[in-house]
A and B are shown apart, each in its own frame.
Chain A
């Protein structure tokens, strides 16, 4: 083994033991006997592991080999491929190569986006290993009002779970069809957000552009179309724009807390969902992603918002949707004027790669989100 290769293997061993020394500052080597026969991991995997070690509070001094979970974690990160069509595993600068293949790099210079490709695989594998959270259901209360929820998918999802836990699963014969409204810019953002936590989709700006250029609204955002999809009599429909009056409509004392994921959480979920799609059969992905949604640690980053350049289109779409609901004559709880977009100063137009990477590294370094099982009443495995 050449000197530079021995130095590289030594660095890999250092990182496996929790080390945090950057590659260019690394001077150690691995004894030939200790050097693994395996190929060197890519610079992306190695740098991600170094940053995970940093996040775990490691010092340059190795922790020793008695920490089995650290060893497993290191092996997992180093074996994770970079998801999707992008750069292949990159060789380390300073280690001799054949002269073919990608150009060697300093791992510290690898961008956040490249590291995220690896981190999303690690998190997806963690999520698959964790499995879906059990779904809590209560004893059936068939005498209570039956409801079907459409519209705002974040609120609808949380409310559906809340009702199911109280013995009131969605649907049944002749349910009250409740369309959950919100300012259209928020509805769009929440629809994309929820999609990321189900099957994944394209990035937020591209997704928005897709619908704007088509001059259409996504199925779950278009309240009039969502209602029409179900064969309900007009008297069994409520379009709710005033959330304060929603509990009365669905027959609960108060609404569960609705936490809209931040832009960084959603972007990370979008990336993880793509990998989960390669790991489990399609019907199993939504339950796993719901589990991630519940367990993902908060960071305080605001949810995505509609950028200024799309606002005219959103306003026109809201006006069109309002006209469609008015013409259909559906009972409205609240004021349809509230469907008009509402500019939010704190909304961010998209996630910053570094913020997303920070969240991913925090989740890899601290497995707390994977450990606590939810307290459940009567649970049904789904």
Chain B
């Protein structure tokens, strides 16, 4: 049985992809230190989360059958420390949390929540929605999440994964506060290694020689790039199915192409929304301070940056959209060329296989047999005779 499990349940947009990639690529090294990150693919815990929460996800859910129970069993059987990590666990309902914790048995559970200020989380979540097929404008998104009713699909999801006191109430209410660990994302402009150091301390990875190369991140987009992607979604989400959207739009366009617009303006909050976000954050920080959780970083990080220059993505001009649009066309043409190469190679292989088959069939005996079979298949008695023959020869 695991001595200890570190259950990292969120939040989205807090460096989780990088953490999970490092853990996945360093599984062997971690095992040598009695730390288990049980995953046979980088998104294994995402599938476990879909399973635990009964979340259909554009067809991916068919790969998630039984994933949570398998993950929990692996954790229970491990003799040392185990780590479970995916940000969408943050959305689990109280009943699902109860089931999850029960599945981990008597293991000592430590809850980890990586957290970032709302001032940066709100625009990041809008970008994430846009990268998941949404074409809601930024203004409508802000209005939706500020609606206290939280009736919309976007609003209910946003608060389920971002309202820190609520996430902690659901996941941490049965745990002693010293078993609840907050990792705050450092302010913008901090040393790039600082977030990793906070994760490392919380997960007990200090002193372990890990490959920290950033192979898989979930990069943010600039303002015109996000505006362009939203405009593309307006055209394509009704005609491009999720299994095609994921590799072509999210991966090729968003992650591999548009995220390289480092010089573009970064998205922030309009003044009124900035004030609202900071006020809410202050209230949360006060609540969190009273709970005596273990904090890596500072709760003051949750107040977010001061108001900066706001660039509105809903009013991006054609001139601003043109450069990323040309990049997008170029990237898609390169991808189309690559896929054409794959198609041609497959055609070539199929052609060679058919030629090989035909060579085998060119014998006189084969041709004679084929003629007999064709003749028999043209009549009912012939078909019956053939069937009997095939049964006798075991060639049904």
Contact = CB atoms under 8 A, between A and B. Distances in A.
B159 interface: yes
B65 A85 contact: no
A278 B59 CA distance: 10
A88 B170 CA distance: 11
Given A101-B166, A278-B50, A278-B64, A83 B56 contact: yes
B48 to A, nearest CB: 12
B185 interface: no
Given A85-B55, A143-B383, A277-B61, A98 B166 contact: yes
Interface in B46-69: 50-51, 53-56, 61-62, 64-65
Interface residues of A, number: 43
Interface stretch (A209-217, A307-315, A329-337): A209-217
B373 to A, nearest CB: 8
B53 to A, nearest CB: 7
B198 to A, nearest CB: 24
A79 B64 contact: no
Interface stretch (B14-22, B90-98, B264-272): B90-98
7 contacts: A79-B95, A98-B166, A101-B169, A142-B383, A274-B56, A278-B54, A285-B62
A279 interface: yes
Nearest to B65: A281
B140 interface: no
Given A89-B93, A103-B148, A174-B377, A278 B51 contact: yes
A172 B386 CA distance: 12
Interface residues of B, number: 42
Contacts of B56: 83-84, 274-275, 277-278
B238 A209 contact: yes
A306 interface: no
Contact of B238 (A83, A140, A210): A210
Given A89-B95, A274-B61, A81 B150 contact: no
A144 B380 contact: yes
Interface in B144-200: 148-151, 153, 156-157, 159-160, 163, 165-166, 169-170
Given A209-B238, A210-B239, A81 B93 contact: yes
Contacts of B377: 173-174
Contacts of A140: 387
* A interface secondary structure, majority: loop
Contact of A88 (B62, B156, B165): B156
A39 B95 contact: yes
Contacts of A174: 377
A42 B93 contact: yes
Given A83-B56, A142-B384, A144-B380, A213 B160 contact: no
A173 B156 CA distance: 56
Contacts of A213: 238-239
A274 B59 CA distance: 8
A206 B238 contact: yes
A142 B54 contact: no
A282 B62 contact: yes
Given A83-B54, A88-B91, A144-B380, A278 B61 contact: yes
B208 interface: no
A123 to B, nearest CB: 13
Contact of B156 (A86, A206, A214): A86
Given A98-B166, A98-B169, A210-B239, A88 B95 contact: no
A42 B239 CA distance: 36
- Nearest 5 Cβ contacts at the A-B interface: A142-B387, A143-B384, A100-B166, A39-B94, A274-B56
Contacts of B163: 100-101
A368 interface: no
Interface in A87-116: 87-89, 98, 100-103
A356 to B, nearest CB: 17
Contacts of B96: 81
B241 interface: yes
Given A88-B91, A143-B380, A285-B62, 4 more contacts: A83-B56, A209-B238, A210-B239, A210-B241
A81 B166 contact: no
